[in-house]
Structure 1
Amino acid sequence: MSHRKTMLAASIFAGLCLSGALYAQDTTQTTTTSNGVGALTRSQDTAQSKGSSADSAKQLATITVTGIRASLQASMDTKRNADAIVDAITAEDIGKFPTTNAAEALAQIPGVTLDRSIPGTQRVSIDGMDPSLNVSLLDGHPIAQAIWLFGDNPNRGFNYSQLPTEILGQIEVLKSPEARIVEGSLGGTVLMHTVQPLDVAPNTVSGSFGVNYNDMVGNQRPNGSVFYSWHNADKTFGVDVSAGHQEQFTSREGMENYGYTSVSTVNTAALAAGNTAIQNELNAGTIKGTDQIPNQLSAANFQQTEKRNSILVNLQYRPNQNFESTVSLMYMKDSLNNVNQSLYPWATNAPGGITSLTEGANGIIVAGTQVGTPCYNTTTCKSTAATFADNYARQSMVTTKGVDWKATYFGDGWRLAGQAGVSSSSNPMTSFIKEIYYGGGFDWNINNGVQFTDPSSANNPNYWADNGWGGNEETILYKARDTYGQLDFSKDLDGFVNEILVGARYASHWESQTENAFTGPQQLTLNQIGYGGLTDLAGASALGLTDSFVTHVQTSGLNAIKNAVLSTPGFGTARDANVYFDNTWAVQQQNSAAYLQANFGTDNVHGNLGIRFVHTEFDSSGYNVPSACSAADTFDCYFPNGFGWVTSKTSYNNWLPSVNVAWNVAPDFIVRGAASETISYAPFNQMAPYFEANDTVLTGAGGNPNLKPYRSANFDASAEWYFNDESMFAASVFYKDVLNYIVNAATTQTRINGSWTLPGYLQSEGNAQIAAGLCTSAGVCQYDVTAPVNGGRAKVKGATLSYQQAFGDSGFGLRANYTYSDGSTHTGGWLPYNSKDAYTIAPYFEKGPYSASVSYNYRSAYLAGGYVAGAASTYVDGFKELDASAAYQVSKNFSVSLDMLNLLNSKYYAYLGSKTQLSEEYVTGRQFMLEAHFKF
């Protein structure tokens, strides 16, 4: 589709082996009441029980988690004893309810919704806010994350698909902030806690091994993990190690459409080619010039093999009751190689062959016919019909590593804690593309796709070849790095105010991208590239797409595509200057923060009051290139003052007050209230002075170094009834008034087409753009560009209901929640990723050696941001998912489990504007994970 950036959203499925639940069965689990960020606590068996919740709500003793009911009770007790509005899940929740990663476990929490455009969930919304506006921390510190998908739009939302769940012991979601908590979240702060060695029996060994299987692709892959923990007899030193190997083959199949073009624009090009068919229909009144034609209906087939190895080590030292120190080491290597084929008959590329168009509702052309003659075994085909098959072979290897140190000294009524560390992530991604062509005619329909007029020739590899353009190789070196340090002090007091906390934190985040494109591969036929037979896309069939979309030609895979590009003699010397200059950037963010917080409480009322000051500095760097250099697409460029590599510096100061109050109305009934101001930041690439273009469809995305932080005034309240030890009913309301909601502004910009001078581009695409009046013969084109701007305002108001209950000794129980979220911008537009309605119903059974659970999740329609450069935001239809799991405890040391996900094989639909404007529709298949678990 694009010679410089794919317009194809891609999929990744991270099927995680959930062995964390198993070693948690006998793990001493410490409830930390939202500690881990600027907190001054230690394990409950050694801590002096005084602090933010010690005087105001009972401190939990250590909890031995042994099953679904016990883990739900542990999660409920964390919520009950917190000062702020908090929800939690334990490792048992992650393992016993059907999940593929920690994000899907979080879906059990009210107010949390997932974006499921890709199988391995990456994006988590909290209380209706964009995933980029949340903060996620592991043991109180950030984890640097490089993007995994070539052409992805970087965002601040945590990618849970890249974090193994076996390292987690508990996850907390803070809905209302405290002054001691790291800034940066408008939706919620997710605190992930690993298992600590001094909280686990010495010489604990647990793990799992198994396979996962997807019924759409009929492929199975192995998984395995192991956990070991040891400490000495005095419990002064301990070490635990969690290691895992995970493989997953996944596929996303369906249909995509890359925008719309007006009938009048297409007719202009058709008349220039001597075709009056469209004009005749305009004269007859059967269609209108303002009607919109789908640019390309594409048969999308994304296949990926993921192989991830990970290891986490915790070293914990507690020589006496006054001092504790922990060092954590992390290393992950995640291979995410994939092949993405997009087969798209392109009517507007060759309008000379259009014979008919059919108008549908809302001014959308819903069907058409194109005539053309296929060419046999040639790379210079001339036809009045054009079908392209983009074959992307992408190599992606994300390496993440980090070291974190924290220590606490407990004095007589005071505590001093420090934490420091560094985390880095990099991904040297490579993409190879061969774009093959077929000249035969076709009929198309927006509901069913495209049907070739002559399937026998369309399915014959001898009629497919490069046509004017031989593809390219693109590389992106993506880097992210977090460096941080903080110091916290607390003093216990007598009286209503029982603790004072003060602290300071410095954090630096660096994110950068360097992109290159190497041009000039030789043109080849499909047979020379490597014919891989005909597709058999079950997903396309399930969507009711045409036979031609289900069965069509394909290459023989990643290596064939890669070798076809690299086999050109002398390839690798010609480098595209515009790609480098437009897409190379760096952003550094430095936050210096200090806070003061007072914890207070009586027997019936407890909470905290505080303020946090944050000074933020941004250095945004990128290339500013003179227009003459862009037109020549050359590195041989003179940069006068103000051009070349330029850096823009901005800084901001923010005072962030917060208050949380909890009132124990009765022993089993708590009412809470909270008010706060919070800030968050735009994704790093949006703050870079860059321009990322899709030259084929003339769209682009730009950055803005002058973006100010989001700022929001927040009000939260909840009422919680704990009617027995394992059951509760809770209701909450929330309101967020976002004072600077960053929005994307659409503009039309006249720019040099960076691909104009590439070999064959003029023949394959450029001439069609000239004929349509979109470009001049010199390659000056009209781009539809989106770029972020300040000054927006947004409001979110909503409510949640949550309920969990174990029904006596029957073994049955139920967990359910509902979220209502009404969010909009000041102009009435939708907020990204805000669904008005979302709910989860999760019944379970656990008795004796048997356990089982079912989870049904639903979220209503929402606005999703585009995943790649220039891709328009889409409206995603309501999505439902049904999952189930079953397990049997064979013995004290051995069990087996079966997780079954997406049992409905739910369809993902996205639209541009109304539902008559299809953008994409996908299925990903049903997933089955069979695992054996052991523990000694």
Structure 2
Amino acid sequence: MKSKHIFKPALLSLAVTSAMYSGHTVSQENNNEADEQQVEVIAVKGIRGSLMRAQAIKMDKASIVEAISAEDIGKLPDSSIAESLARLPGLAGERVGGRTSGISVRGFKEDFTGTSLNGRELIGIGDNRGVEYDLYPSEIMTGATIYKTTEADLLVQGIGGTVDLQTVRPLTAQETLTLTGVYEMGGNDSDNPEFDNTGKRFALSFVEKFADDTIGLAVAVATTESPRNERKYGVWGYSENDNGQILPTGLDTQANSRVLERDTVSAIFQWRPTDNLDIVVDALSIDYSDSGVIRGFIEPFNADPDSLTGTGVNVSGTQVNANPVLRTDPAQKDGELQTFGLNVKYNIDDNWSVMLDVADSQSEKRDLRGESYAGLARNGAIDEFGSRQFQMSADGIFFTGSSGLGAFADPALLQLTGPQQWGGGMANIADQFTTDVNTVFTDENGNPTPFSYLNAQDGFLNYADFEEELTTVRLETEGYVEWGMINKVKFGFNYSDRYKMKDNKGFFATASSYPFSEAIPAEYLYNGLADLSWAGLGQVVAYNGFAPYRDGEYTLNDAGLLEPDRLGDTFTVEEEVTTLYAKFNFETDVAGFFVNGNFGAQYVQTDQTSTGYIGVVGSNFAVCDDDGNGEVDADCALSDGDSYNHFLPSLNVSVEVADNRFVRFAANKTISRARIDQMKASGFVKFDQNIDLIAIPNSQDAVEQYGSPWSKFQGNPRLRPLEANNFDISFENYFDDQGYVSLALFYKDLVNWTDDARELINFTNDSTNNGANYFIPGFHDRVIQEDGLYGPANIAYSSGDLATPPDFGYFEYFQDGLKGTVQGAELTANIPLGMFADALEGFGIAGSATFIDAELDNGSPIPGQSDEIISLTAYYERNGFEFRVAATDRSEFATYQRGGSNKIETATRDAITQIDAQISYDFEDSGIEYLKGLRVSLQGVNLTDEKEETIGGNGIVTLRREFGPSYMLNLNYSFY
């Protein structure tokens, strides 16, 4: 016979309280119950305890929330909170380099979701507003609450929702001293000889109380070294020949190895000298490094037509004129973040209190990536290339053999040089590379072609510096009142001052051997070769790609003076935001039903400004450096901004329609501030030197039909926040102290979203830049070398004619006004199977399914939005033993990422199903005295080796990343 569960909301509250005491059992007499019955003992250990605590938080809130307890974060061997958050209903993780970093809430990427730590806004170290959740180690957190509907005193908000992370408050926690050690191993061996696949984590945390429990101190120190090994297959694109056979136009195949190193210190000091005064000072410091190498081949692809067999995508044959570039790209991303806060709360009397909160956060990061090229010889010094045999399929291309490419495994034969003609970006400094040495090629008249700037790029040093600071001051008062059904009020003021800077830098690199080439110096070489055999490309030389930069082997030329788009991506953005808010809590009975909730509003005033540059090539062919002194010209500087106000009302209502059954309704207006990179004042003017574009007729109609060599892009510092009217309804049935089912429906009316704008302008008289004329004779025109038809309009030119470009081209920027809708449903269930039979006690299933239908009026997707997100966790927990298996399925979604020249670019992630598992044992009740306090667990992530793939419109893989599974052995010991 099934034993009866005692289930009351009060017991859940008791469970939450007992969670602070590390799973100790608790019993108390509930004097509020009419029968004054004794409460039975509730165990809150393991996953069942964590689910119980999360359930209690959901029941207690009038708004619609999800929650994670300390058991989920503090006890699991997750390397960061990102993995824990990604398992929650309506949330989805986005992997960056194989590690969960971004979190979408109800289909909105983290840039459109507010993130706070103990109620204060968090900053990241990335390009935009979104927080990199893998920056925050699990060991310093005690919980997280995700608000899917907003409240008037929730100052950190976004259209997607709010993620509030929590750290311990020492005077309300049990004293403890805990040591954690983790051994991590990747399922894939490193393909690069200078890296391996093992890592480790250590953490020490303690909570102590002093002076009759009036002073508390909590400190957590954590250090992480986590490997990541990736196999990347990519192509430039695919093309179909006259026989209907499909082949790539270029290849991008790499073995990537990186190591995350993170040192974190969290300290919280709490002083409660009297019952009416509570002072909390907290500090958080994170040093972060993600370093490694991206090593592999990048090259154009040409096939011998006579060798091809097969049809469509299933083709085999021989690649000819193979002249691969072995790129060794060392990468080093270093950042640090510090945040300091002071919170003072004073109880004026039994009903009223006042609170002051002051915080300052600062972060900085340098994202550095070098490029070092090696190959058979310098471009232009060889005309006999290699060949490869290949097999093509819908999974891409695989090589089965090669000829003439053995040098890539022999460091004595491989040359430290640029094998491809990629130096066109250095046209402005062509004189620096003038030489009498001729290449093996001749021009169209049969004359020898000398080496030039076109042959002179042997590498590139690419980096961006970021800085951000956020200062906030908050003052509020709250009190219990008897104003009819209103029983509590809160009034407050908040001021925030944000500064963010990006400095985009880059340098063209030319080896000292130019125009010749030389073997890779022996001191640069690593022991062993890099393995690309998984792509059919064999073993290749491995060397230190930073060494030529470090030793001065490369001559560097500032790309900021040569590439307009790099200066046009350097900027600052500043925001000052003042918020007044009021919130009113209420409770009443309506037709016999208990109704509670809150309503209120925020009045938000914003001043925003941005400074930057318009990157333009000047008469001396340099970017914004007409006098050649290496300084940016004053007339290239830009500054703009705007001021505006918002009124943001909110309403949350909870109705208990039956015992432990609730209907919740919410209506509110929310904003997410525009992306930082879209708010920049900076921009640039670019020109394509392709003769077929230069030869386009000089008319607007011709440009609209054929395109233009001119293009201009600029940010918009006047962008208003993204804005939505939101409506939510949730049906929740809590049928057990560890079980519930719920259905939530939501609708978001997007009344303002940032839109891409495009207009045709005259580049000899730019009305958007004070009539500027960007045309430079001798640079933007071209002398025709031989008679013929040029351009898509087949215009006849004779040798010696001057082809001038059309005056017109497109200006692209961002504007407000795009609208759209998002509607969705979330079905969530936590089913303890023990409620059906005693034999199943300890077993349970927790799952959720989220379905979203989103549409912007211009047809573009919302970044982070998947149509379906399904997660399922099966678990068992009893007598200290626990296991769980979790699967998450996420459909295709759009996103954006760091692209070429350090700029943001759009991307699409294919559907992914990830399976994780954990098995653990807690020795607390083992009966072995000296092992009490020890918890051992083994966790596996991405057990099915799920790949990240992007599939083109023709059904063929255009990008595939393979990270493999990872395994972690966790030892957690609490001394007391």
Query: What's the CA shift string for 1:855-879, capped at 9, x where partnerless?
Result: 0110112222243246753332221
SS in 2 for 1:72: helix
**CA distance 1:570–1:835, change in 2 (3 Å):** closer
Contact 1:576–1:634 (CA<8 Å) still a contact in 2? no
Does 1:243 pair with 2:221? yes
Query: Which 4+ stretches in 1 moved above 6 angstroms?
Result: 23-26, 60-64, 351-361, 364-368, 638-642, 692-701, 746-752, 770-774, 776-786
The aligned counterpart of 1:435 is 373
Whole-angstrom CA distance in 2 between matches of 1:165 and 1:24: 21
Whole-angstrom CA distance in 1 between matches of 2:138 and 2:40: 25
Query: What's the CA shift string for 1:261-303, capped at 9, x where partnerless?
Result: x78xxxxxxxxxxxxxxxxx6xxx535xxx9974422113221
Whole-angstrom CA distance in 2 between matches of 1:404 and 1:161: 22
Does 1:910 pair with 2:950? yes
Give the C-alpha shift of residue 516 in structure 1: 2.8
Whole-angstrom CA distance in 2 between matches of 1:64 and 1:418: 37
Give the C-alpha shift of residue 784 in structure 1: 10
Does 1:879 pair with 2:912? yes
The aligned counterpart of 1:627 is 617
Contact 1:24–1:65 (CA<8 Å) still a contact in 2? no
Give the aligned residue type for 2:243.
T
Whole-angstrom CA distance in 2 between matches of 1:673 and 1:192: 24
The aligned counterpart of 1:81 is 60
Give the aligned residue type for 1:238.
G
Does 1:830 pair with 2:861? yes
Whole-angstrom CA distance in 1 between matches of 2:623 and 2:959: 33
Give the C-alpha shift of residue 882 in structure 1: 0.7
Contact 2:285–2:338 (CA<8 Å) still a contact in 1? yes
The aligned counterpart of 1:606 is 596
Give the C-alpha shift of residue 359 in structure 1: 10
Query: What's the CA shift string for 1:297-328, capped at 9, x where partnerless?
Result: 21132211121111000000111221111000
Q: 2:339 aligns with which of 387, 402, 407?
A: 402
**CA distance 1:625–1:837, change in 2 (3 Å):** closer
Q: Which runs of 5+ in 1 are unaligned?
A: 1-22, 31-44, 46-59, 148-153, 264-280, 373-384, 753-769
Contact 1:875–1:911 (CA<8 Å) still a contact in 2? no
Query: What's the CA shift string for 1:429-472, capped at 9, x where partnerless?
Result: 33321122344234564633353641752643424541332213
Structure ID, larger Rg: 2
The aligned counterpart of 1:272 is none
**1:424-823 aligned within 5 A:** 424-438=362-376, 439-442=385-388, 445=392, 447-449=395-397, 451=399, 453-454=402-403, 457=406, 459-461=408-410, 462-467=413-418, 468=455, 469-494=457-482, 495-522=484-511, 525=518, 527-528=520-521, 530-532=524-526, 533-537=528-532, 541=534, 546-548=535-537, 551-556=538-543, 560-568=544-552, 571=555, 576-578=560-562, 581-602=567-588, 604-628=594-618, 631-633=621-623, 635-637=625-627, 643-691=635-683, 702-744=714-756, 787-808=813-834, 810-823=841-854
**CA distance 1:245–1:871, change in 2 (3 Å):** closer
Give the C-alpha shift of residue 931 in structure 1: 1.6
SS in 2 for 1:521: strand
The aligned counterpart of 1:345 is 299
The aligned counterpart of 1:51 is none
**CA distance 1:843–1:903, change in 2 (3 Å):** same
The aligned counterpart of 2:964 is 925
**CA distance 1:634–1:87, change in 2 (3 Å):** closer
Whole-angstrom CA distance in 1 between matches of 2:686 and 2:202: 41
Give the aligned residue type for 2:478.
S
**CA distance 1:78–1:637, change in 2 (3 Å):** farther
Give the C-alpha shift of residue 854 in structure 1: 0.7
**1:205-216 aligned within 5 A:** 205-216=177-188
**CA distance 1:71–1:609, change in 2 (3 Å):** same
Contact 1:134–1:157 (CA<8 Å) still a contact in 2? yes
SS in 1 for 2:160: coil
Query: What's the CA shift string for 1:716-743, capped at 9, x where partnerless?
Result: 0101111011111111000011112224
Whole-angstrom CA distance in 2 between matches of 1:611 and 1:402: 28
**CA distance 1:61–1:366, change in 2 (3 Å):** farther
Give the C-alpha shift of residue 403 in structure 1: 0.6
Q: Which runs of 5+ in 2 are unaligned?
A: 1-15, 29-38, 191-196, 377-384, 419-454, 691-708, 765-788, 794-801, 924-930
Give the aligned residue type for 1:403.
F
Whole-angstrom CA distance in 1 between matches of 2:713 and 2:316: 30
The aligned counterpart of 2:142 is 169
Between 1:330-339 and 1:670-679, the stretch displaced more is 330-339
Give the aligned residue type for 1:649.
G
Whole-angstrom CA distance in 1 between matches of 2:504 and 2:804: 25
Whole-angstrom CA distance in 2 between matches of 1:357 and 1:634: 50
Contact 2:950–2:960 (CA<8 Å) still a contact in 1? yes
Give the C-alpha shift of residue 826 in structure 1: 1.3
Give the C-alpha shift of residue 596 in structure 1: 1.5
Contact 2:396–2:957 (CA<8 Å) still a contact in 1? no
Between 1:590-599 and 1:636-645, the stretch displaced more is 636-645
Does 1:234 pair with 2:234? no
Between 1:503-512 and 1:423-432, the stretch displaced more is 423-432
Whole-angstrom CA distance in 1 between matches of 2:200 and 2:259: 12
Query: What's the CA shift string for 1:188-211, capped at 9, x where partnerless?
Result: 100111011112233x10021121
- Taking only the aligned residue pairs, the percentage that are identical comes to 24
Whole-angstrom CA distance in 1 between matches of 2:92 and 2:138: 19
Give the C-alpha shift of residue 220 in structure 1: 1.0
Give the aligned residue type for 2:948.
Y
SS in 2 for 1:180: coil
- The two structures have a TM-score, normalised by structure 2, of 0.76
Contact 1:585–1:690 (CA<8 Å) still a contact in 2? yes
Contact 1:145–1:424 (CA<8 Å) still a contact in 2? no
Give the aligned residue type for 1:795.
T
Does 1:101 pair with 2:101? no
Give the C-alpha shift of residue 390 in structure 1: 2.5
Give the C-alpha shift of residue 930 in structure 1: 0.5
Give the C-alpha shift of residue 157 in structure 1: 1.9
SS in 2 for 1:316: strand
- Work out the number of aligned pairs and report it: 809
Whole-angstrom CA distance in 1 between matches of 2:579 and 2:277: 25
**CA distance 1:357–1:631, change in 2 (3 Å):** farther
Contact 2:922–2:934 (CA<8 Å) still a contact in 1? yes
Whole-angstrom CA distance in 1 between matches of 2:72 and 2:679: 38
Whole-angstrom CA distance in 2 between matches of 1:258 and 1:247: 34
Whole-angstrom CA distance in 1 between matches of 2:256 and 2:962: 11
**CA distance 1:873–1:231, change in 2 (3 Å):** same
Whole-angstrom CA distance in 2 between matches of 1:701 and 1:327: 45
Whole-angstrom CA distance in 2 between matches of 1:709 and 1:325: 35
Whole-angstrom CA distance in 2 between matches of 1:230 and 1:221: 31
Give the C-alpha shift of residue 569 in structure 1: 6.0
- The two structures have a TM-score, normalised by structure 1, of 0.79
**CA distance 1:526–1:510, change in 2 (3 Å):** farther
Query: What's the CA shift string for 1:35-57, capped at 9, x where partnerless?
Result: xxxxxxxxxx9xxxxxxxxxxxx
Give the C-alpha shift of residue 78 in structure 1: 0.4
The aligned counterpart of 1:852 is 883
Give the C-alpha shift of residue 164 in structure 1: 1.1
**CA distance 1:90–1:633, change in 2 (3 Å):** same
**CA distance 1:242–1:526, change in 2 (3 Å):** farther
Give the C-alpha shift of residue 165 in structure 1: 1.1
The aligned counterpart of 1:270 is none
